[in-house]
Amino acid sequence: MLEVRGIEVSYGEFLALRGISFAVHEGELVTIIGANGAGKSTILRAVMGLVKCRKGEIFFQGEDITGSPAHQRARLGISLVPEGRKIFSDLTVAENLLMGAYIQGERKTVQSCMEEAFSLFPVLKERQNQVGKTL
């Protein structure tokens, strides 16, 4: 589903990532672990297209997306929720999830995303009408 092959990312003269490769297959949950400054966020920003890779390739569902801008990657379903991102406190759990599914566009796809979220996190389904600030 997602394959990263030998990416390198620099910030000016500073080489932030060198030779990063990994694959994430459908249905897998993957964690990136490392010390502060190790490049975890930069890896995710590269996958999302928010920073340019000076070397390497990124494939999503078999398609080379290395040169694709972030908005095109978002349309494919690739997204990044930055650390510390909060929910909309005045919206319900369901409304918060809909905001995240909004990019998918089609009503059936959005409903499918909601059902998937509820199957992964049953407590959200139980609290779908609860306002975020009361969680």
Q: For 31, list phi and psi in degrees, rounded to 5.
A: -120, 135
DSSP 8-state assignment for residue 79: -
Q: In the block, which residue shows the tokens 């910030």?
A: 11
Q: Give the span between the Cα atoms of 125 and 8, in whole angstroms.
A: 40
Most confident of 23-27, 82-86, 88-92, 113-117: 23-27
Of 64, 84, 14, 17, the closest CA to residue 44 belongs to: 17
DSSP, residue by residue, 25-63: -TT--------TTSSHHHHHHHHHTSS--SEEEEEETTE
Domains and CATH numbers, the chain: 2-75 (3.40.50.300), 93-134 (no CATH)
pLDDT value at residue 105: 61
Q: Mean pLDDT over residues 17-27, rounded?
A: 95
Direct distance between the N- and C-terminal alpha carbons of the chain, in angstroms, rounded to an integer: 34
pLDDT value at residue 85: 61
Query: How do residues 71-84 score in pLDDT, each as one tens digit?
Result: 888 888 888 776 66
Query: How do residues 96-106 score in pLDDT, each as one tens digit?
Result: 888 766 665 66
pLDDT value at residue 8: 97
Q: Give the span between the Cα atoms of 92 and 50, in whole angstroms.
A: 30
Q: Give 21's pLDDT tier (boundaries 50, 70, 90).
A: very high
Of 106, 115, 6, 116, the closest CA to residue 53 belongs to: 6
pLDDT value at residue 123: 87
Average pLDDT taken over every residue of the chain: 87
In the chain, the DSSP E strands lie at: 2-11, 14-24, 55-60, 63-64
Selected residue with higher pLDDT from 94 and 6: 6
